[in-house]
Amino acid sequence: METRPSADQSPTGPERPGTRTPTGRRPASGQRPGRSRRTAAGWIGGAVVAALAVIAVNSASQALGQFHWWAGFVLVPGALIAATGGPLVVRGGNRAFAGYVIACVGGLVFAVGALLMFGVMSRGWPLMVVLPCLAVAGTYGWQLEHPLARGLHRVVAMLASTGAAVGITLQLIVLDWVELTGVHWWGGFMMLAAVIVFFNALELVRHRMQYRLQAIALLVGPAVVTFLLGLRFVRGW
């Protein structure tokens, strides 16, 4: 008569408590209850934050007498899109980048809806320059493996920070907080961007990799030209 091995005699050794589901089956190797709970909590938290943000904007606009109900058709989708990307960022892994992009796009749409809700788009449009640049600059801390890719990413992130500074300057001008009439101020930002590219190109010298000299030349050349153009604008040549 054939006998089956007991749990202690099984080829895989004795079973540990809790290794079977209530139905008697082992959980799949890819299923992690802890991660599932964190993911669910992230989705719920994102939805709660989105709802609170929408309520806050609506309440503030009504209190100021600037409520435009039709802007809700932009505001609410933006909040939902941002809430969709947030949990993916918190979860990490390969989906973090996609989640970050989705959250930034949703935040930008939400900002457009908020400006429309308050009826200040004509005075707040520079934020449409600041926010995308800040989204790109926010990736500065990401570390790529290849030194060339890491250097180029650092250049893009720092240039995005310069773009955000341009947007802030535009916002100050639109609000009449600063007076720059007759000043070619954008030339200074061109020179700043050129300096950023130039020094990041020099940083590539210490890495031993293929196409190092070609990459440095492609960065230094435009940087020098941009710096000279910015200097020309600033000095009014």
Residue 202 backbone phi and psi in degrees, to 5? -65, -30
Angle, CA of 69, 73 and 74, to the nearest 5°: 110
* pLDDT value of position 207: 73
User: Is 29 exposed, middle or buried, given 0-12, 13-18 or 19+ CB atoms closer than 10 A?
Assistant: exposed
**225 Cβ partners below 8 Å, 6+ apart?**
none
**Tens-place pLDDT, residues 222-233:** 999 999 999 999
List the one residue out of 115, 155, 106 whose CA is nearest residue 135.
Answer: 106
* pLDDT value of position 22: 46
Name residue 98's amino acid: A
Q: What is the pTM of this model?
A: 0.76
Cα radius of gyration rounded to whole Å, the chain: 27
* pLDDT value of position 123: 92
**Tens-place pLDDT, residues 182-207:** 788 999 999 999 999 999 888 888 77
**139 Cβ partners below 8 Å, 6+ apart?**
100, 153, 157
* pLDDT value of position 4: 52
**111 Cβ partners below 8 Å, 6+ apart?**
78, 127, 128, 131
In a structure prediction context, what are the per-residue pLDDT tens digits for the chain, which is 237 residues long? Answer: 455 555 445 445 554 444 444 445 554 445 455 566 666 777 888 889 999 999 999 999 999 988 999 999 999 999 999 998 888 887 777 788 889 999 999 999 999 999 999 999 999 999 999 999 999 999 988 878 888 888 889 999 999 999 999 999 999 999 989 888 778 899 999 999 999 999 988 888 877 777 778 888 888 999 999 999 999 998 876
The single-letter DSSP state of residue 27 is P
* pLDDT value of position 88: 83
* pLDDT value of position 35: 62
* pLDDT value of position 32: 57
Classify 65 as helix, strand or coil: coil
